Structure 1
Amino acid sequence: MRTFAFFLILGLAFTTSGRSQETIIPLWPNEVPLRIEADETEIQEKGDILKISKVQVPEIEVYLPSKANATGQGVLIFPGGGYHILAYDWEGRDIAKMLNTKGIAGIVVKNRLPTSASLEKNHLAPLVDAQRALRLVKSMAKDFNLDTDKIGIIGFSAGGHLTASLGAHYDKELIAPVDEIDLTKAKPNFIALVYPVIQFGAASTHMGSQTALLGENPTQEWIDFFSLEQQVRDDHAPTILFHSTDDTAVPVENSLSLYNALRQKNVPSALHIFPHGGHGFGLAPEIPLVNAWPKLLTDWIRSL
Structure 2
Amino acid sequence: MKRLPITVLVSLFFLNGLVAQDTIIQLWPKGVPNQIDIGEKEVDTLENIRWVRNVQQPSIEVYLPSLPNNTGKAILLFPGGGYQGLAYNWEGVDFAKAFNSQGIVGIVVRYRLPNSKSIVKNRHEVPLQDAQRAIRLVRKMAPKWNIDPDEIGIMGFSAGGHLASTLGVHYDDKVYDNQDDADQLSARPDFMALVYPVITMDNEITHGGSREALLGKQSSDELMKHFSNELHVNANTPPTFLLHATDDEAVIVENSLRFYSSLKSHEVPVTMHIYPSGGHGFALGLNHTLLKGWLNGFIEWLSSMD
Q: TM-score, normalization: structure 1?
A: 0.93
Q: Kindly provide the CA deviation profile for residues 165-222 of structure 1, in whole angstroms up to 9, marking residues without a partner as x.
A: 0000001001221221111110100000000000102311100000000000001111
Q: Deviations over 1:230-254 (max 9, x none)?
A: 1101111100000000000000000
Instruction: Find the residue that maps to 1:143 and give its secondary structure.
Output: coil
- Partner Cα distance (1:42, 1:21) in 2: 20
Residue of structure 1 equivalent to 2:35 = 35
Give 1:21 deviation, angstroms. 3.5
Which residue is 1:249 aligned to?
A: 250
* Secondary structure, aligned partner of 2:267: coil
Moved over 4 A (4+): none
**Alpha-carbon distance in structure 2 between the residues aligned to 1:253 and 1:285:** 24
Indicate the percent of aligned positions where both proteins have the same amino acid: 50
Residue 283 of structure 1 corresponds to: 284
The residue that corresponds to 2:141 in the other structure is 140
Question: For the residues of structure 1 that align with 2:270 and 2:168, how far apart are their CA atoms?
Answer: 13
RMSD (CA atoms): 1.0
1:139-288 equivalences in 2 (<5 Å): 139-288=140-289
Q: Distance in 1 between matches of 2:138 and 2:144?
A: 9
Residue in 2 aligned with 1:83? Answer: 83
SS of the residue corresponding to residue 25 of structure 2 reads strand
The secondary structure found in structure 2 opposite 1:290 is: coil
Aligned to 1:104: 104
Q: Whole-Å Cα distance in 2 between the matches of residues 224 and 114 of structure 1?
A: 18
* 1:230-281 alpha-carbon deviations (Å, 9 max, x no partner): 1101111100000000000000000000000000000000000000000000
Counterpart amino acid of 2:182? I
State the Cα distance separating 1:37 from its structure 2 match: 2.6
Distance 1:98 1:20, change over 3 A: closer
Q: What does the per-residue CA deviation read over 1:60-112, in whole Å, with 9 as the maximum and x for residues that have no partner?
A: 00001111111000000000000000000000000100111111110000000
**Partners in 2 of 1:95 and 1:256 — Cα distance?**
24
Provide the rounded CA distance (Å) in 2 between the counterparts of 1:202 and 1:102.
39
2: CA distance, partners of 1:42 / 1:192: 28
**Partner in structure 2 of residue 302 of structure 1:** 303
**Alignment gaps of 5+ in structure 1:** 1-18
Shift of 1:38: 2.3
Structure 2: give runs of 5+ residues left out of the alignment: 1-18
Partner amino acid for 2:191?
Answer: F
Residue 44 of structure 1: aligned partner: 44
SS at match of 1:291: coil
Quick one: which amino acid aligns to residue 113 of structure 2? L
Q: Could you tell which deviates more after superposition, 115-124 or 189-198?
A: 115-124
Matched residue, 1:59: 59
Cα distance in structure 1, aligned partners of 2:98 and 2:64: 11
